[in-house]
Amino acid sequence: MLPARLSVVPAGERPVDRPALSLRHRRSLRLAASMWAVVLIVAAAGGCFGSPVGDENTTDEGLAAGMALPWPQDGQTSVMVEGLGDLGSKGEREPVPIASVTKVMTAYVILSEHPLKGAAAGPVIEVDRQAAEESSSREESSAPVREGQRFTERQMLELMLIPSGNNIARLLARWDAGSQEAFVVKMNRAAARLGMTHTTYTGASGIEPTTVSTAVDQLRLARRVMKDPVFRSIVAKPEVTIPGVPGVIVNTNTLLGRSGVIGLKTGSTTPAGGALMWAAEAVAAGRTWLILGVVLHQDAGSPPATGLRTALDRSRTLIDAVRESLDSLVAAQGPSEQDT
């Protein structure tokens, strides 16, 4: 008998009518208030907001000038090819909610402070009561875990990145820094070091609409984090089976294995719309090239599943076009100094 496949609503909201506030909901409200305090502190200190960038819908085609790429017509998009340079960006130039794309920074901070080498599993982390209670939430994506269960760091990263478990993102934040609030400070410091000047993190999962960024900033993060072979191997998995977790855990990134896609991370909430940070490979001029892109704010205001579907479809159209044009682009440009 085949194992059951774990069905998880894509990272984001699950609309639900509740007659009264549950314990989880009251905790979420308190957390939201504390996260707003983080926003105000970061803003007062100059933080990661950066200077205003405006909301004009513009195109900076970069190396893609003349390629007539099928850029998404709403939201914002940024694309680059490692070894060639930036293909350009399209769309609004203001920070927008990024939903569960946030988890890429959460993973980056965790792996920076607790690096894994080769096939190492890393330290064992115990599931606390909060993560277990949140696992049954109908209001957000989560991974089904029980209090007292023990998983390795690698397994926790899989539970966070593959089914987009918000409860696991917050658990990892508490494990690393003692509280989500303290972990958020680390996230914003990491963003500042990477030059993500229009990014502000207010939580580890991305459920908060106050976590905002731009496609250009997130592309900086994508380039850095894809240099980590452990992260790269996790986000490339279309599914995973973890002892103690029922069924087969399916990746929310349904583009994996198609159009050369080898990662990266989905995101979707009603405020954020659909989002996708993606990585794809293509062969040109006798070598394999890594193409990285970020698509944000697709069908914002729509149900999360609708926005995510739009982000996936538009991303695939763009990926296919870049891959088809890569031979001519390589011939015209040649390798760049950006290939470091």
Segment 107-113 shows an average pLDDT of 99
Strand (E) or helix (H) holding 37 = helix 23-44
The string of pLDDT tens digits covering residues 278-314 is: 999 999 999 999 999 999 999 999 999 999 999 999 9
Q: pLDDT category, 331, cuts 50, 70, 90?
A: confident
Question: Residue 69 forms beta bridges with which residues?
Answer: none
Q: Enter the pTM of the model.
A: 0.83
Which residues are bridge partners to 288 per DSSP? 283
For residues 90 and 154, give the distance between their C-alpha atoms in angstroms, rounded to a whole number: 35
pLDDT value at 109 more than 90? yes
pLDDT at res. 334: 64
Residue 100 has pLDDT above 50, yes or no: yes
Q: Is 117 annotated as belonging to a binding site?
A: no
The domain 51-333 is classified under which CATH number: 3.10.310.10, 3.30.420.340, 3.90.45.10, 3.40.710.10?
3.40.710.10
CA 19 to chain centre: 32
Task: Kindly indicate the confidence band of residue 214, based on its pLDDT and cuts at 50, 70 and 90.
Answer: very high
Taking 3-state DSSP, the helix, strand and coil percentages for the chain, each rounded to the nearest 5, stand at 40, 20, 40
Q: Is the pLDDT of residue 201 over 70?
A: yes
**Residues identified as active-site:** 100, 103, 164
The least confident of 196-200, 243-247, 336-340 is 336-340
Looking at residue 61, what is its pLDDT?
Answer: 58
Question: Which pLDDT score is estimated for 77?
Answer: 98
Judge contact between 160 and 106, C-beta under 8 A.
yes
C-alpha–C-alpha distance, residues 276 and 207, integer Å:
15
Q: Residue 101 and residue 196: Cα distance in Å, rounded?
A: 14
- The b/e string for 30-68 (b: 16+ C-beta within 10 A; e otherwise) is ebbeebeebbeebeeeebbbbeeeeeeeeeebbbbeebe
Is the confidence at residue 19, as pLDDT, over 60?
Answer: no
pLDDT at 146: 98
**At what angle are helices 180-193 and 102-113 packed, to 10 degrees?**
90
pLDDT per residue over 43-99, tens digit each? 433 333 333 344 445 556 566 666 789 999 999 999 999 999 999 999 988 999 999
Structure tokens at 73: 């017509």
The CA-atom distances, in angstroms, between 154 and each of 102, 157, 210, 238 are: 18, 5, 28, 16
Rounded Cα distance, 4 and 282, in Å: 34
Q: Could you tell me the CA-to-CA distances from 158 to 61, 111, 339 in Å, in that order?
A: 35, 12, 29
Q: 40 CB contacts (<8 Å, ≥6 apart)?
A: none
Instruction: Answer whether residue 7 shows pLDDT above 80.
Output: no
Per residue in 163-172, pLDDT tens?
Answer: 999 999 999 9
